[in-house]
Amino acid sequence: MSNEQMEHRLVPTHVAVIMDGNGRWAKQRGLPRSAGHKQGAKVFEKICDHCQKIGVQYVTAYAFSTENWKRPQNEVDAIMDLLRSYLQETLKQAKRNVRLIFLGERAPLAPDLQRLIEQAEESSAQNTGITVCVALNYGGRAEIVHGVQKLAQLAADGELNPACIDEALLGQSLYTKGIPDPDLMIRPSGECRISNFLLWQMAYTEFVFLDVLWPDFTPAHLDRAIDQYAKRNRRFGGI
Ligand code: IPE
Ligand code: IPE
Ligand code: MG
């Protein structure tokens, strides 16, 4: 194997990231939490570009969890506004060859945001470059519950034999249908937990926790996490 092939093999196909630490970043600077989210959104775009450059094929970023509705209304509004701007910007830049997918329950989102999401997904569906999945109003448990409800309905309608429900079928009933499981999950901000992110999909994902706050996260941090990942021995239960 050539060096180049070797290097390529060590780049994860799918990187998941919990974009955490925006609030603390703002607090350190005496700024409102929304300023941290704004900076965090810029970093998200930069990191997606870097992932594309180094050959990562899928990035999944945790933007807003099912539990984040507990936050003050003005903070929730600020995050939703940033998503609106991101989507409007994305719709203008169709040339970037990025496929955009949203993971999570959409019905509780503002109708205009739901429409923007649909437009962005539809207009980017044929793009062949990196796939960027934004986890928005996403919860790993809620996702599994929804998948199970869909299958239970099919069974109740006589269209599915419960004995035929297997891991593949449940996996195809989730928001991440058709997307390979993450190889690497990065959580900055010093917290060492997954906070309801991709519970089903991360059964064998490698975790890297970093002390940096998300708004300070740079492509060099991503490279460092990938270096750690490349040294891991993934066994998937084998030897
Ligand atoms: C992550 O940053 C962004 C969201 C959860 C939407 P936080 O807002 O959680 O920042 P900290 O953890 O309070 O610093
Ligand atoms: C996880 O961060 C959710 C996102 C980054 C979108 P939180 O800040 O909500 O997680 P906890 O509350 O520290 O577990
Ligand atoms: Mg947080």
216-229 pLDDT, tens digit each: 999 999 999 999 99
β-pair type (14-18, 58-65): parallel
Distance (Å) from CA 40 to ligand 2 centroid = 13
Q: Which two tokens stand for residue 138?
A: 């996403």
Q: Is residue 152 part of a domain?
A: no
Q: Is residue 168 part of a domain?
A: no
Q: Is residue 121 part of a domain?
A: yes
Q: Is residue 236 part of a domain?
A: no
List all residues 6 or more positions away from 36 whose beta carbon is below 8 Å from its beta carbon.
Answer: 21, 22, 23, 24, 25, 26, 27, 215
pLDDT band, residue 96 (cuts 50/70/90): confident
**How many domains is the chain built from?**
1
With both helix axes pointing from N to C terminus, report the angle between 219-231 and 33-54 in degrees, rounded to the nearest 10.
60
> How far apart (Å, rounded) are the C-alpha atoms in residues 143 and 201?
11
Residues of the chain above pLDDT 90, percent: 94
* pLDDT for the residue 104: 98
Ligand 1 atom 6: the closest Cα is on which residue? 64
Cβ of 64 closer than 6 Å to ligand 2, yes or no, is: yes
Which atom, in ligand 2's list, is nearest to the CA of 214?
5
Which atom, in ligand 1's list, is nearest to the CA of 25?
14
Per residue in 24-40, pLDDT tens?
999 999 999 999 999 99
Instruction: List, in sequence order, every residue forming a beta bridge with 15; answer none if it has no partner.
Output: 59, 184
Distance (Å) from CA 207 to ligand 1 centroid = 19
The answer to whether 132 and 98 are in contact (CB under 8 A) is: yes
pLDDT at 8 over 60: no
Q: Which two tokens stand for residue 219?
A: 């492509």
Ligand 1 atom 12: the closest Cα is on which residue? 21
Q: Which ligand is nearest to the CA of 17?
A: 2
Q: Is residue 210 part of a domain?
A: yes
Closest CA to 109 of 118, 101, 100: 118
Compute the mean pLDDT over every residue in the chain, rounded to the nearest whole number.
Answer: 96
Q: Which residues are catalytic?
A: 20, 68
Q: Is residue 4 part of a domain?
A: no
Mutate-to-test residue for ligand 1 from 22, 24, 79, highest number of ligand atoms within 8 A of CB: 22
pLDDT at 7 over 60: no
| CB-defined site of ligand 1, < 6 Å | 19-24, 64, 68, 79, 189
pLDDT band, residue 4 (cuts 50/70/90): low
Distance (Å) from CA 21 to ligand 1 centroid = 5
Which atom, in ligand 1's list, is nearest to the CA of 33?
8
Q: Is residue 61 part of a domain?
A: yes
Q: To the nearest 5 percent, what fractions of the chain are helix, strand and coil? A: 50, 15, 35
Q: Is residue 176 part of a domain?
A: no
Ligand 1 atom 1: the closest Cα is on which residue? 20
Per residue in 117-149, pLDDT tens?
999 999 999 999 999 999 999 999 999 999 999
Domain containing residue 209: 12-139+181-231
CATH of the domain at 21: 3.40.1180.10
Cβ of 20 closer than 6 Å to ligand 2, yes or no, is: yes
Specify burial of residue 156 (Cβ count, 10 A radius: 0-12, 13-18, 19+): exposed
